[in-house]
């Protein structure tokens, strides 16, 4: 049976990846690598699982019944794949949040209905409210002083409209836009940005601001979702919502002409007590060094305007597929390969921060984590996030399949905002998959993040890469290098 499978494996790899025999001769593709490419390429359950997660379970706000349902489903799948040590690592959030209704319109100087959605963990407006729009351009606490006694009953906007060009255009400005309040653009002091965000919100509360409106910064009325919590899943202080880019720019143009008055009504609800959520964990136990660990990660929570199919359903099903394939092939890694599906990523990597805290004694024996949170496209490279000493080992680990999977050199630049970050902060090398789907930045967090965006060829390739990386990292002669001082 093994010999037959190996022959079929070689045939499939040759057909699926032209020139693979030459590549095998040149870089030494191992039997295990070839088996992994073949098994995932021929027998994957990626699209079946993505359809179930998207259409049957649907959107998965952290702490919601749907998110808990998804975590329990993933646990069942890991058990069906006969993984080891399958379990939920439970943690608690202060409040879950349920979206209600949101309505808005311009009532002066014209009458127009506006497209609006609440930000996550935003409170409601306690009925219908009206107010003048005020643009607050302050970028520091001292600059807020000029708005004292000028904001009572106001509806505040905080930015000029963001530049938005047509979707599917790689590298256009809106694809770089980060809405999550505690985040900042690369090169800025994130802690300072977070502190100013809180100072500004407190100032608005004291001055009697009725609501904050943000630009969704997407074309064609696509909404962008983010968080309005004051932290740790506590209700936000000021009702906060996003307008479509088209309506936000309308408000901006009208404001240049004179006063603009809006009417809003937002209803949302919170749990009355803390609620439980969890990270879903499974393992393929190592044979020689079982206490040393290689981690593959993705986040199972999503925003709720759609089904969260590419952010991050695709990462979830890729992790499940790697687990299925490695067990099906009966490969025996030297180190333990651990699969972790985090919740709480969309609210600032809360689940992975909890995981790192709970596993602090184990961190010195975690070789690295690779996180898939990049959408549905083919993975083009791995981001090393300032773990420069790992570039050589990564190239060595991926060299056998680099040509077949068409990989670029590891990416050196730093990016923000997924579950590798808490591991890096704790000294464990945290890497991310970097994909090639330009539309991902347009559809993530929007009402267009649905199953039909899933690309089976891209998902197959991403699962193949992650499986090869995990297995070869588990076989590597040593743990991967830490940064100096970590």
238 and 137 inside one domain: yes
Whether 482 is covered by a domain: the verdict is no
CATH number of the domain that 266 lies in? 3.50.30.30
In three-state form (DSSP H/G/I as H, E/B as E, the rest C), the secondary structure along the chain is CHHHHHHHHHHHHHHHCCCHHHHHHHHCCCHHHHHHHHHHHHHCCHHHHHHHHHHHHCCCCCCCHHHHHHHHHHHHHHHHCCCEEEEEEEEEECCCEEEEEEEEEEEECCCEEECEEECECCCCCCCCEEEEEEECCCCCCHHHHHHCCCCCCCEEECCCCCCCCCCCCCCCHHHHCCCCCCCCCCCCCHHHHHHHHHHHHHHHHHHCCCEEEEECCCCCCCCCCCECCCECCECCCCCEEEECHHHHHHHHHHHHHCCCEEEEEEEEEECCCCEEEEEEEEEECCCCEEEEEEEEEEECCCCCCCCCHHHHHHHHHHHHHHHHHHHHCCCCCCEEEEEEEECCHHHCCHHHHHHHHHCCCCHHHEEEEEECCCCCCCEEEEECCCCHHHHHHHHHHHHHHHCCCCCCCCECCCCCCCCCHHHHHCCCCEEEEEECCCCHHHHCCCCCCCHHHCCHHHHHHHHHHHHHHHHHHHHCCCCCCCCCCC
Whether 468 is covered by a domain: the verdict is yes
51 and 187 inside one domain: no
Whether 486 is covered by a domain: the verdict is no
Whether 480 is covered by a domain: the verdict is no
Query: Would you state the pLDDT for residue 424?
Result: 94
289 and 399 inside one domain: yes
Whether 25 is covered by a domain: the verdict is yes
**Domain range for residue 409?**
2-94+274-475
423 and 286 inside one domain: yes
CA-to-CA separations, 108 to 112, 256, 263, 340, in angstroms, rounded: 9, 13, 10, 52
> Rounded CA gap, 408 and 483, in Å?
23
Domain endpoint, select from 270, 303, 332 = 270
**The tokens 């993505």 sit on which residue?**
50
281 and 355 inside one domain: yes
136 and 195 inside one domain: yes
Whether 263 is covered by a domain: the verdict is yes
Whether 296 is covered by a domain: the verdict is yes
CA-to-CA separations, 36 to 32, 317, 406, in angstroms, rounded: 6, 16, 16
286 and 421 inside one domain: yes
Is 440 within 8 Å of 449 (Cβ atoms)? no
Domain endpoint, select from 230, 253, 270 = 270
Whether 481 is covered by a domain: the verdict is no
439 and 455 inside one domain: yes
258 and 281 inside one domain: no
CATH number of the domain that 399 lies in? 3.40.630.10
Question: How many independent structural domains does the chain possess?
Answer: 2
109 and 47 inside one domain: no
Tell me the whole-structure pTM to 2 decimals.
Answer: 0.89
What does each of the 486 residues of the chain score in pLDDT, given as a tens digit? Answer: 433 333 333 333 333 333 333 333 334 458 899 999 999 999 999 999 999 999 999 999 999 999 999 999 999 999 999 999 999 999 999 999 999 999 999 999 999 999 999 999 999 999 999 999 999 999 999 999 999 999 999 999 999 999 887 544 444 433 333 333 333 333 445 568 778 988 999 999 999 999 999 999 988 999 989 999 988 899 999 999 999 999 999 999 999 999 999 999 999 999 999 999 999 999 999 999 999 999 999 999 999 999 999 999 999 999 999 999 999 999 999 999 999 999 999 999 999 999 999 999 999 999 999 999 999 989 999 999 989 999 999 999 999 999 999 998 888 766 567 999 999 999 999 999 999 876 787 888 999 999 999 999 999 999 999 999 999 999 999 999 998 766
296 and 341 inside one domain: yes
32 and 117 inside one domain: no
Domain endpoint, select from 270, 287, 309 = 270
């Amino acid at each position: 049976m093994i010999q037959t499978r190996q022959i079929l494996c070689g045939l499939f790899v040759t057909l699926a990846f032209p020139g693979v025999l030459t590549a095998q001769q040149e870089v030494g593709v191992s039997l295990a690598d070839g088996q992994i490419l073949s098994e995932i390429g021929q027998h994957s359950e990626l699209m079946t699982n993505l359809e179930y997660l998207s259409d049957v379970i649907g959107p998965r706000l952290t702490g919601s019944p749907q998110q808990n349902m998804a975590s329990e489903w993933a646990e069942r799948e890991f058990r069906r794949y006969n993984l080891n040590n399958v379990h939920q690592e439970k943690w608690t959030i202060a409040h879950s949040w349920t979206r209600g209704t949101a309505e808005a319109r311009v009532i002066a100087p014209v009458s127009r209905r506006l497209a609006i959605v609440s930000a996550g963990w935003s409170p409601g407006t306690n009925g219908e409210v009206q107010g003048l729009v005020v643009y607050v351009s302050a970028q520091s606490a001292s600059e807020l002083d000029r708005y004292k006694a000028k904001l009572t009953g106001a509806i505040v906007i905080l930015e000029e409209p963001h530049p938005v060009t047509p979707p599917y255009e790689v590298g256009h400005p809106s694809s770089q836009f980060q809405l999550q309040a505690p985040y900042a653009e690369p090169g800025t002091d994130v802690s300072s940005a977070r502190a100013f965000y809180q100072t500004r919100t407190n100032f608005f509360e004291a001055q009697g601001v009725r609501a904050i409106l943000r630009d969704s910064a997407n074309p064609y009325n696509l909404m962008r979702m983010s968080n309005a919590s004051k932290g740790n899943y506590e209700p936000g202080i000021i009702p906060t919502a996003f307008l479509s880019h088209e309506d936000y720019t309308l408000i901006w143009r009208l404001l240049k002409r004179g006063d603009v008055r809006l009417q809003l009504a937002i209803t949302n609800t919170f749990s009355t007590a803390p609620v439980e959520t969890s990270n879903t964990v499974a393992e393929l136990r190592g044979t020689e060094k079982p206490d040393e660990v290689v981690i593959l990660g993705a986040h199972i929570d999503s925003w709720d305007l759609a089904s969260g199919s590419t952010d991050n359903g695709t990462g979830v099903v890729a992790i499940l597929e790697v687990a299925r394939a490695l067990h099906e092939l009966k490969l025996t890694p030297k180190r333990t390969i651990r699969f972790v599906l985090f919740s709480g990523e969309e609210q600032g990597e809360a689940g992975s921060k909890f995981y790192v805290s709970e596993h602090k004694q184990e961190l010195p024996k975690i070789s690295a984590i690779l996180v898939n949170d990049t959408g549905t496209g083919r993975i083009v490279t791995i981001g090393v996030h300032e773990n420069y000493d790992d570039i050589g080992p990564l190239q060595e680990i991926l060299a056998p399949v680099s040509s077949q999977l068409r990989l670029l050199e590891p990416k050196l630049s730093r990016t923000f905002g997924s579950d590798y970050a808490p591991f890096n902060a704790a000294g464990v090398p945290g890497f991310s998959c970097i994909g090639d789907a330009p539309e991902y930045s347009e559809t993530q967090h929007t009402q267009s993040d649905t199953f039909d965006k899933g690309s089976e060829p891209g998902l197959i390739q991403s699962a193949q890469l992650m499986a090869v990386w995990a297995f070869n990292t588990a076989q590597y002669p040593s743990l991967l290098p830490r940064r100096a001082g970590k």
